[in-house]
Amino acid sequence: MTRLSNQTLSTAKAAKPQYDRAAVKVGIVHLGPGAFHRAHQAVYTDDAMAVSGGDWGICGVSLNSRGMAEALSPQDGLYTLTLRDKSPSNRIIGSVKEVVCAKDDPDYVLAKLSHPDVSIVTMTITEKGYALLGNGHLDVDNAGIAKDVESPRNPSSAIGYLVEACRLRRAAAVPPLTLISCDNLPSNGDKLKTVVTEFAALIDGPLADYITGHVRFPNTMVDSITPATDDGVIEAVSVATGLHDAAPVQREAFSQWVIEDNLPEHRPDWEAAGATVTSDVHSFEMTKLRILNGAHSTLTYLGLLAGEVSVEDAISNPTLRDFVDALIPSETIPTIEAPKGLSLSGYWSQIIARFENPNIVHLLEQISHDGSQKIPARIFPVIEHHMNTGHVATRACFVVAAWIEFNRQRRAAGNPPTDGYLTHNITLLPSSELDAANYADAFLKIEAVIPKKLAEHADVRASIIHAAKAIADDGVINAAQSILNP
């Protein structure tokens, strides 16, 4: 079958970029051009160029894997966005102009990052890409960071590249960058600023001052459910569009991007594409992380322990649904300061409907990865909030227990690890031969992951250990039912 590319684009049976793509220059570098970026920020940029123009082509940079460059280079960066909702639709996105693998050509990547046409770097490098310690500081012992601090002119980590790009721009008097984190972390821009400046301070004090004073780090909230692309999606896209696309992306129709109003004047017209620019990004991000992502992690660990496969399966399981629909209103929502005018119970109802979308198969396995980087943003703050008012959030504690028990059972069964941070800290991991209660007890001592205050709270600790034992002894469904109806 004919492949999607510049040459064949006109024959695609799908919506096409509505601007002169050939004339557009690269103005954005994106680190981590996986499915989420291409289904989200790249679509906003595509729409922004269609409405208001501008040289906002994207150069996607994969730090390690060649897969995306190999898939998209023969397609001139073009790919299909397939929206899976009541009325499915296909659209070719043109904003990504090129994709490169940094390992293959680091000089090219640094030249792009320091080019005067480029003024914005966006990134989806996942929670672990920030190399943050539980205490909010840069993990200088992280292997990638330690190597880049040793040899900062030849970076290989995302943070190393960003710092070197800032150095090159400062030295050549090229205007400073705006660095936009699009990962699911609370205060993602502030966290990015911390790790970038702490790294710079280790190698060059004045560079750290320049970054603090001149580089912008807006906080953002990103949202759109984007399951990984599989063969079924590739096949369906080729049937629908008449062209073979090796790297299409699928997502739900819903999409939201809230960006802190700390953007430069010269930038894509993302608002015209539906993004919200506001001073109040914090409440949006807290709402989304604790409700949507918190519910995702809940359904994931409980669901996988119960033998469910997808988010839709899990939300259709009566006990899991009752559990998450009790947890969010009773324990999560009371901890959130809602964005002005937003009803949190209405927001939660919409999310249940999104999870029920029958046109999307979102694998729990995908969401289960890197729990040690996700649970601290999604569930711990709920437990801590209630601790501060003298209560134990038993349902949220149950989610932590399910995550720990999932981890124990997976390891005991000899499955390969899917949590990079835990693997990195393997020496601290308790033996998976321990029984559930002793494993949970030992797991709660991993200081880099579990906040001390939480781990040392006798009632919270007891609640988590009790739940882990109940899950192991009675099965997750019975255990969840007894938490719901004590």
Contacting positions for ligand CS2 (CB under 6 A): 184, 223-225, 293, 296, 366-367, 374
Alpha-carbon distance 50 to 46, whole Å? 6
The residue nearest ligand CS2 at its CB is 296
Least Å from the CB of residue 99 to ligand CS2? 21
Least Å from the CB of residue 223 to ligand CS2? 4
Contacts of 402 (CB under 8 A, 6+ apart): 298, 301, 302, 305, 467, 471, 476
Contacts of 122 (CB under 8 A, 6+ apart): 28, 29, 30, 31, 37, 41, 58, 180, 182
Least Å from the CB of residue 224 to ligand CS2? 5
Q: Cα 124 to the chain's mean position, in Å?
A: 6
Q: Which is nearer to ligand CS2, 366 or 481 (CB)?
A: 366
Least Å from the CB of residue 370 to ligand CS2? 8
Q: Which is nearer to ligand CS2, 400 or 472 (CB)?
A: 400
Least Å from the CB of residue 350 to ligand CS2? 13
Q: Which is nearer to ligand CS2, 178 or 293 (CB)?
A: 293
Least Å from the CB of residue 446 to ligand CS2? 20
Q: Which is nearer to ligand CS2, 199 or 257 (CB)?
A: 257
Q: Which is nearer to ligand CS2, 27 or 376 (CB)?
A: 376
Q: Which is nearer to ligand CS2, 28 or 221 (CB)?
A: 221
Q: Which is nearer to ligand CS2, 19 or 380 (CB)?
A: 380
Q: Which is nearer to ligand CS2, 21 or 288 (CB)?
A: 288
Least Å from the CB of residue 467 to ligand CS2? 22
Alpha-carbon distance 175 to 153, whole Å? 20
Residues in a beta bridge with 250: 82
User: What six digits make up the tokens of 143?
Assistant: 């292997």
Alpha-carbon distance 197 to 204, whole Å? 10
Least Å from the CB of residue 300 to ligand CS2? 8
